[in-house]
Structures are given as structure tokens and as C-alpha cells.
Structure 1
Amino acid sequence: MHMADALVSPAVGGIMLAASAGCVAYSAYKCKDEVDEKTIPLMGVLGAAVFAGQMINFTIPGTGSSGHIGGGILLAATLGPFPAFLVMTAVLLIQALFFADGGLLALGCNVWNMGFYTCLLVYPLIMRPILKKGLTKGRITWSSILCVVLALSMGAFSVVLETTASGITALPFGIFTGLMLPIHLAIGLVEGIVTAGVLCFIQQMRPEILATAIEGTALPSKLNTKKVVISLLVFAVLLGGGFSLFASANPDGLEWAMENVAGTTELESDGGAHEGAAAIQESTAFMPDYDFSGGEGSAMGTTTAGLIGAGITLLLAGGTGLVITKVKKSHKSA
């Protein structure tokens, strides 16, 4: 559900960028109570896993469409809302800058649609109260499916609102909504099941991780998270370096809806803001579309992009946690 620049006007893109930047700043401030040395490696490997997971499109039977996990609920349930939002922002920023996945002008929209609803709205207001009643596998499973579907539907509807506010007449509000919501409902069901599986795995290994996210506190200083971190790192490598080769070639939910409404997945755009954003992205994206520059969908290119992207995300997400802990320590010693 990564929006391209052609789907948003400069005004809408600017407003959403400001809104998302405000959420980033607020999340960084609130992380002072939730991030410590134990959280840093988890932020890194979970960010890498979500980056790699978003590369794998799965076919939605009978539709000619595909979907991929968003990962917001997974991040929030393991890290807490505010660290999760920062990690999701890191994932989307790296995708846009280095792999031309999602536009730079539309970056604020993508962060809002895929990060705000999952991390800062649905998890704290719906999933957290459910899990506070008990961390059972059954409760984790049905709450994961419910919350992923709800958050993804909100994000899909936001795409419609953002294109409408941008004056994209090729995507009429009613018809576009009628296609976006049902297809993302189906995608959400699959992602919800995947999310539940990963959370149940973490719960079985280290239930304290989910418990501290519920309470909004830092992990216990004596908690050993090494096995979980290594498992998630292996998971990220397998996804990005191997399973990404088997991603569905069908258009994702947004592209599928656009094609059915406008007859194309690539709308044209003009204007200085769009051209400037495109020029910046062209200069920074060293592996556009997750392949070698000028490549044609080679297996080696996809594998390399998956591993490099996951590695960069690990460093940026983990580095964000490191900076927060350093700032927190400096304030305590001041």
C-alpha cells in the first residue's frame, strides 16, 4: 500500500509529511520510558524483519491481486507503540530513498497510513486492553487478526481520502473506496494470521517482551533476549534473501484497485514538486524496484536488495534506539 508521488498533490503531501513528522517527534520523546539497551537489538531485528516481510507479496485467490504484510501491529505488540512507530518510519524511509518503493512526496502519507493507525491508534486503544486481560494464544490470535484488519482498512480508506483531497479525478471516491476496502480486508486477514503466529512464537520464548509492551515500560535489565533476537535475525535473512524470490507478480491491493478504476497502475504527474521529488529519489535509489540498477527482475538482484535493505534497516532502527538511550542517560546525569 505504498503510495506513489503521482497520487498526492504537493499540498496534501506536505500536510501529511508535517503530521507524520510531528508523530515521529512525539514518539521519540515518549520513548524515554520504553527504550533501553535491551530494546535496541529488538528494534533493529524487528525492523529488518518487517522490511524483508514487506518484499513478499502473497496472492489473493480469485482476485488477480496480491498483498504484503505491513507489520505495524507486530511492531507495536513487541516494542510498544512509540518505538514501533519510529521503526516503521525507518522502514518506509529506507524503502523510498534506496529502493524507490513509495514516493518521497508521498512519504508522509505512507508513514501515516501504515504506521499511525497500527502503532499509535489501534494497538494502544484496542489490542493493548484486550491483551491486558491475559496473554493467551487464543487472545493473541483473534486480537491480532481483528486489529490488523481494522488498521489496514483505516489505512486503505486514508489512501482514498488523500487521493480525493489531491484532486486525482482518475480515481473517483466511491468506486475507489468500493475496491480498496474489500481487497485490503482480505489482505488484512492473511497478515493478521501471520502476525498472530509470530507473536505466539515470541510469547512462548519470552512472554516478558509482550508484557512490557502492554505496560509501556522498558524490558527487565536481567531479561535474556538473545534467543529471540537471533531467531528474528535468521527470520529476516530468510525472508529478504530467500523467500522474497517467490513473491507474487500480481499487483498489490492499491495497484489492483487503481488498475480496475483508472485502467493503469501508473498515473502521470507534473509540476516542480513532483519533478524535484523524483529527481532526488532517482539519485538516492541505488536498487530501484529491489533490483540492480537497470536490471530486469533478476533473482540475484532481489536477494541482494533484500539482504542490503534489511541490513540498513537494522542499523537505522537500532541506531535510533541507541540515540534515544544516550540522550536519556545524558539527561539523567545532567
Structure 2
Amino acid sequence: MADALISPAVGGVLLATSAAAAAYATAKIKNELGDKKIPIMAVAGAFVFAAQMINFTIPGTGSSGHIGGGILLAGLLGPFPALLTIATVLVIQCLFFADGGLLALGCNIFNMGVIPTLLIYPLIFKPLLKKGITTSRLTLASIISVVIGLQLGAFGVVLETLISGITALPFSVFVLLMQPIHLAIGVVEGIITASVLGFVYAMRPEIIQSSEQRLPLAAEVSVKKPLIVLAVITVLVGGILSIFASAYPDGLEWAMAKTAGTTELEAEGPVFRSAEAIQGATAFMPNYDFPNAGEEGSGIGTTVAGIAGAALTCLLAGAAGFIIHRVKNRNAKTT
């Protein structure tokens, strides 16, 4: 979401809500990270950053979509580390690449992070695996969870614009466009999520099992192979495939264009100007390209942005996991 889609009040409330959810997730993390889950947290975050750069075309609509990654991360890490990881992805996108508004950052974290990791994963994904993890159950759980999570996230966008009083996006028309297009996007993301989780499960089932049980990986379990494969895929996706991402507007932009006749609404006021100024100062590669790339853009800029963003995500997500793990361990030893 861009800042123009919400009021400062809604942005502030959702930022506080998302910050509270992140604090809650940090507090709830016990020993599930362990020394072996921290590198998975880092590489999985980088993978989601890179994967979000790939917009895939939705046939017959003139629209495109990209994965959210919340359920994918929850399946690999568990719900609480997953929320912190997706929040890291969204903060990096916002501050360094001007993707999503700074005022709307809380909304984006809530819609794409809190809903899938703290609501959908425990209430839908895990119950579907209650009888045991198999490839077929993992596939079913992934697709159903992603579709429902994306539907709720899309509806959250509509509600946030409604409460903000964005009259250019009337509720009835906007919701009738947002939900179907995000249903189609959800099906594709669900298949991608199922494929990645299925691949990891086939290679190291302990990763998925430990996340579902919120337990650390045993010392004898090697995660080297899946990490190397995910890292290589991340570089290929962020550095090469991102150049060939669909040029069609994404689901939100498509729904906005159909409703308001434009994908860019204007926002006026000191709060919006301040947020824009902060982003302008922090974003070293706005829109995932060099600042002087022009309207046509440059392929090399997209490649550099994909690799740099994935590397930043890997570093910050890994650092967050490391610090939380060390602090929790230290506190446990002193009690």
C-alpha cells in the first residue's frame, strides 16, 4: 500500500498494532530458533525478498501478482520468527527501495505478516497437518492457507481505505475487484508455497516438523544443502529473473485503476510530505533501480537491487534471530 491510500490516523494505529504484534512475537519465541534455525531465518527472508520482485501475469486480466511469503516463512520457521522475518522484508523494501509507503508500513506488515503468520498459520495451516505431515497434506495446507490469508489481507486493504475516507475507492466497487483478483493471485502463490515447502520437506523433513512443533533442530540435522539451494535460487531470482517480471500492474494497482481510473492517488498534508521526505532520504534504489535510470529503467539496476535487497534482508533477519536467541539463552541461564 502507498501512503495515499490511508489517513495518518489509520497509518498510526496500524503501525502501533504491527509493532505490538512484533513485540509479542519476540516475547513468545522460546527455544525454537536454535543455532541451526537462525541461518534458515536469514536465507528464507532473502528468498522472500527476491521472490516478491517477481510479478507473474494473471492470464486474461491485464494484472499481475507476487507472493506475500507469510505462510511460506511460517512453514519454514514457525509463526513468530516468520512474522519478524516478513516485517524485516517489508521494512527494507519501504526504506531502501521506496516500495510501499512509510506511513502505510504498519498496514503492510499487518496485512502481509500478522494475518498469515499469527492467524492463518495456527488456525488453518497447522490443523490441516494435525494427522501428520505428508507431501499431499502440506500442499493442501499451503494452498488453502495462502488463499484465505490473501483474501483477508486484500479485505484488510479495502477496510483501511474505507476507514481512511478514501472516496476515490468506494467500498462496494473496490471490494468486488480486490477479492477476485487476489483469489487468483492466492492460488498461484499457494502452489509456489507448496512447491518450496514440499522441496524442503523432501530434503530435510525435520525443518518443517520442528517449525510445526516450535522446537529447535537437533544438532545432528544438517541444513547445509537446503540452505545452499535456497541461496542459489535467491540469487537467480533476485539477480536475473527479476528483470523479466511482468509489467502489468499488480492486483492492488489493477483494482485501483478499475475503480478510480488511476494507480496513483494524490495525498496532501504535512504528515505525508514528511513521510515522503524520509523515504527520499533513505531509499538508495527507489523502485528497485538506480536513481538516474529514467522511465525506461535499467536491467543492471534491477539486478543490483535484487541482490542488494536480498543480502540486506539476509543480514538483518539473521542478526535479529541471533540477538533474540542469545538474549533468550542468557535470560534462561540466569533464572
Shorter-normalised TM-score: what interval? over 0.9
User: So what's the TM-score if we normalise by structure 2?
Assistant: 0.98
Partner of 2:218: 220
Give the deviation of 1:56 after TM superposition. 0.3
Give the deviation of 1:54 after TM superposition. 0.3
Among 165, 169, 172, the alignment partner of 1:171 is 169
Partner of 1:322: 322
Partner of 2:134: 136
CA–CA separation in structure 1 for the residues paired with 2:127 and 2:45: 24
CA–CA separation in structure 1 for the residues paired with 2:121 and 2:30: 19
SS in 2 for 1:59: strand
SS in 1 for 2:279: helix
Give the deviation of 1:332 after TM superposition. 2.5
2:199 is the counterpart of 1:197: no
Give the deviation of 1:216 after TM superposition. 1.4
Give the deviation of 1:132 after TM superposition. 2.6
Among 259, 262, 280, the alignment partner of 1:264 is 262
Superposition pairs for residues 46-61 of structure 1, below 5 Å? 46-61=44-59
Partner of 1:110: 108
- The count of residues paired between Structure 1 and Structure 2 equals 332
Report if aligned partners of 1:76, 1:123 keep a CA contact under 8 Å in 2: yes
Task: Return the letter of the residue paired with 1:46.
Answer: A
Report if aligned partners of 2:31, 2:325 keep a CA contact under 8 Å in 1: no
**Residues 275-320 of structure 1 deviation map (CA, whole Å, 9 limit, x = unaligned):** 1100000000000000001213210000000000000000010010
Partner of 1:240: 238
RMSD: 0.8
SS in 2 for 1:32: coil
Give the deviation of 1:247 after TM superposition. 0.2
Among 18, 21, 27, the alignment partner of 1:20 is 18
CA–CA separation in structure 1 for the residues paired with 2:128 and 2:141: 7
2:30 is the counterpart of 1:32: yes
Partner of 1:71: 69
Partner of 1:301: 301
CA–CA separation in structure 2 for the residues paired with 1:220 and 1:272: 53
Partner of 2:97: 99
Among 177, 183, 187, the alignment partner of 2:185 is 187
Give the deviation of 1:33 after TM superposition. 2.8
CA–CA separation in structure 1 for the residues paired with 2:98 and 2:4: 13
CA–CA separation in structure 1 for the residues paired with 2:78 and 2:141: 16
2:39 is the counterpart of 1:41: yes
CA–CA separation in structure 2 for the residues paired with 1:28 and 1:221: 23
Q: Which moved more, 1:133-142 or 1:312-321?
A: 133-142
Give the deviation of 1:16 after TM superposition. 0.1
SS in 1 for 2:35: coil
Superposition pairs for residues 140-155 of structure 1, below 5 Å? 140-155=138-153
Task: Return the letter of the residue paired with 1:195.
Answer: T
Report if aligned partners of 1:36, 1:321 keep a CA contact under 8 Å in 2: no
Where does structure 2 lack aligned partners over 5 or more consecutive residues?
none
Partner of 1:312: 312
Where does structure 1 lack aligned partners over 5 or more consecutive residues?
none
SS in 2 for 1:66: strand
The runs of 4+ residues in structure 1 deviating greater than 6 Å are none
Give the deviation of 1:142 after TM superposition. 1.5
Give the deviation of 1:77 after TM superposition. 0.6
